């Protein structure tokens, strides 16, 4: 049992480290190609690769979709999150963008109450208020430096929340690989649309030119690291449960801070670090509250 827990934790840590590695590759392409276009290329490559694996394993039946509307919603959530977050890490410190995006659990609870009528517990309200206070603290220096674009990671959190809610709606309606391919197909379509809108918007940052080979290569690497990360996290969850894996997500923030310091000479100030700690604390509080709720109650 101890070895199983250790292996599960190592798989989770590896998965979240790979996610942060992908974000770092995105940041390294700042000024070379727009964030939405990078995300679109990453998902085109990922969809082709995962689709080929699905075809070999399950045949064409693996592509059959039940509840396509929810799959489209999942794809939109992924596309919206990737577009906003990829753009954010190109224009602001990677650790601070990652910290703000970690409001996703609280945003998920709020959207679940609004969209599918899930009850809002007192602990959820407390965690949400504390987390958004942390967001305001982190945004303080970034908003002054880059303006409204500093809220892009918060939009990314909303996109991920929509994905999670959509995942609940299609749970058990296909293999894990098929669910990943289905969301990638719709995400690719939406990302191509977002890229076209950005290109014709007149915003110089979003203009799509011919990508250098380095961008194509790095986008392929992001596709591999992203797909591998999700596979590792899935394997970790199957071994030790989502409740044990959940706190490991914050290892991604530590890796983001390390990469930002090592490669981009980013040094978040004390205020931003405090805001990130507030967001992490809110997430851990919400996770712990959920754990306590799920524990069986003894009888007297």
**Residue at 20 is within a domain:** yes
Percentage of the chain beyond pLDDT 90 is: 49
- Which segment of 26-40, 65-79, 140-154, 267-281 scores lowest on mean pLDDT? 140-154
Most confident of 191-200, 201-210, 238-247: 191-200
Residues 166/70, Cβ–Cβ less than 8 Å: yes
**pLDDT value of residue 299:** 36
Q: Is residue 300 part of a domain?
A: no
Confidence of residue 209 (pLDDT cuts 50, 70, 90): very high
Token pair 């899930």: residue: 118
Q: Is the pLDDT of residue 1 over 80?
A: no
pLDDT of residue 40: 97
For the cut 90, the answer to whether the pLDDT of residue 117 exceeds it is no
Handedness of CA 231, 232, 233, 236 (dihedral sign): positive
Q: Is 299 part of a structural domain of the chain?
A: no
- The count of domains in the chain is 1
Q: Which of 105-119, 130-144, 248-262 has the highest mean pLDDT?
A: 248-262
Domain that holds residue 246: 2-294
Domain annotation covers residue 93: yes
Residue 209, by phi and psi: left (phi above 0), alpha (psi -120 to 50) or beta?
A: beta
**Is 275 part of any domain?**
yes
Q: For residue 176, is it within any domain?
A: yes
The residue that leads in pLDDT, 143 or 262, is 262
Q: Which residues contact 79 (CB under 8 A, 6 or more apart)?
A: 39, 43, 159, 186, 187, 188, 189, 190, 191, 194
Mean pLDDT of the chain: 87
Rounded to two decimals, the pTM is: 0.86
- According to the model, what pLDDT value does residue 297 have? 41
109 pLDDT band (50/70/90 cuts)? confident
CA distance 56 to 237: 25
pLDDT band at 22 (very low <50, low <70, confident <90, very high): very high
Q: Is residue 232 part of a domain?
A: yes
- Mean pLDDT across 47-51: 95
pLDDT of residue 104: 86
pLDDT above 60 (res 177) = yes
200 pLDDT tier (thresholds 50, 70, 90): very high
């Amino acid at each position: 049992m101890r070895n199983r827990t250790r292996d599960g934790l190592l798989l989770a840590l590896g998965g979240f480290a790979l996610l942060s590695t992908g974000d770092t590759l995105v940041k390294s392409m700042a000024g070379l190609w727009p964030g939405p276009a990078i995300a679109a290329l990453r998902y085109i490559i990922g969809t082709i690769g995962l689709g080929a694996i699905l075809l070999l394993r399950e045949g064409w039946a693996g592509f059959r979709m039940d509840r396509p509307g929810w799959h489209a919603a999942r794809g939109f959530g992924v596309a919206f999150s990737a577009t906003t977050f990829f753009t954010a890490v190109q224009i602001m410190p990677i650790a601070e963008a990652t910290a703000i995006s970690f409001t996703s659990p609280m945003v998920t609870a709020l959207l679940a109450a609004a969209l599918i009528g899930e009850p809002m517990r007192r602990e959820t309200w407390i965690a949400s208020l504390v987390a958004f206070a942390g967001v305001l603290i982190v945004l303080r220096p970034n908003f002054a430096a880059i303006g409204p674009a500093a809220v892009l990671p918060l939009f990314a959190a909303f996109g991920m929340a929509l994905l999670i809610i959509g995942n609940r709606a299609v749970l058990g309606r296909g293999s894990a690989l098929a669910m990943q391919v289905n969301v990638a197909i719709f995400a690719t379509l939406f990302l191509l649309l977002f890229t076209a809108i950005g290109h014709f918007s007149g915003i110089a940052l979003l203009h799509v030119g011919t990508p250098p080979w380095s961008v194509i290569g790095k986008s392929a690497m992001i596709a591999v690291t992203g797909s591998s990360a999700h596979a590792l996290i899935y394997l970790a969850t199957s071994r030790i449960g989502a409740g044990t894996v959940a706190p490991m997500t914050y290892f991604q923030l530590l890796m983001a801070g390390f990469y930002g310091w090592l490669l981009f000479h980013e040094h978040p100030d004390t205020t931003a670090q405090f805001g990130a700690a507030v967001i992490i604390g809110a997430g851990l509080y919400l996770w712990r509250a959920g754990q306590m709720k799920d524990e069986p109650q003894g009888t007297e």
